[in-house]
A and B are shown apart, each in its own frame.
Chain A
Amino acid sequence: MFASFDFDVIGRSLGYLFFDGMTFTLTLTGLAALGGLIFGTLLALMRLSGLKLLGWIAGLYVDLMRSLPLVLVIFWFYFLVPYIGQWLTGSSRPIRVGAFTSSLVTFVMFEAAYFSEIMRAGIQSISKGQPMAAQALGLTYSQTMRYVVLPQAFRNMLPVLLTQTIVLFQDTSLVYVLSIPDFLGAASKVAQRDGRLVEMYLFAAAVYFAISCVASFGVRRLQARIAYVH
Chain B
Amino acid sequence: MNYHWNWRIFWEPAPNGTGTYLDMLLSGLVLTIETAICAWIIALAFGSVIGVLRTLPSKTASRIGFGYVEFFRNLPLLVQLFIWFFVLPEILPRSWGLWLKQMPNAPFYTAAIGIGLFMSARVAEQTRAGINSLPRGQKLAATALGLTTAQAYRYVLLPMAFRIIMPPLTSEFLSTIKNTSVAITIGLIELTGEARAMQEFSFQVFEAFTAATVLYLLVNIVVVTAMRLLERAIAVPGYITGK
Contacts and interface: CB of A to CB of B under 8 A. Distances in A.
Interface of A: 1-2, 64, 67-72, 75-76, 79-80, 83, 86-87, 92-94, 170-171, 173-174, 176-177, 184, 188, 197-198, 201-202, 204-205, 208-209, 212-213, 216
Interface stretch (B42-50, B77-85, B105-113): B77-85
Interface stretch (B51-59, B131-139, B204-212, B235-243): B204-212
B120 interface: no
Given A75-B192, A76-B209, A198-B90, 20 more contacts: A1-B92, A64-B217, A68-B217, A70-B181, A75-B195, A75-B196, A80-B206, A83-B1, A86-B1, A92-B2, A94-B2, A170-B75, A173-B76, A174-B182, A184-B79, A197-B87, A198-B91, A205-B79, A208-B74, A216-B73
A197 B86 CA distance: 7
B216 interface: yes
A76 B206 CA distance: 8
Given A79-B209, A202-B83, A71 B181 contact: yes
B3 A83 contact: yes
B90 A208 contact: no
Contact of B70 (A1, A173, A213): A213
B78 A176 contact: yes
Contact of B216 (A1, A68, A198): A68
B86 A201 contact: yes
A94 B90 CA distance: 45
Nearest to A169: B76
B179 A204 contact: no
A18 B78 CA distance: 19
B129 interface: no
Nearest to B93: A1
Question: Residue among B90, B180, B199 with the most chain A CB within 10 A?
Answer: B90
B147 interface: no
Most buried by B among A69, A76, A87, A202: A69
Q: Is the interface of A mostly helix, strand, loop or mixed?
A: helix
B184 A171 contact: no
B185 interface: yes
A173 B78 CA distance: 7
B163 interface: no
Interface string B1-37: 1110000000000000000000000000000000000
B185 A202 contact: no
Interface string B174-199: 10011111101100000010011001
10 contacts: A69-B180, A72-B212, A171-B76, A173-B76, A173-B78, A174-B76, A198-B87, A201-B79, A209-B75, A213-B74
Nearest to B213: A68
Contacts of B78: 173-174, 176, 184
Nearest to A204: B79
B220 interface: yes
A209 B71 CA distance: 8
Nearest to B219: A67
A72 B192 contact: yes
Contacts of A80: 206
Please provide the 10 A-B residue pairs with the shortest distance between their CB atoms, ordered closest to farther. Answer: A69-B181, A212-B74, A170-B76, A69-B178, A71-B181, A67-B220, A173-B76, A197-B86, A79-B205, A72-B192
Contacts of B73: 212, 216
B217 A67 contact: yes
A208 B75 contact: yes
Nearest to A213: B74
B195 A173 contact: no
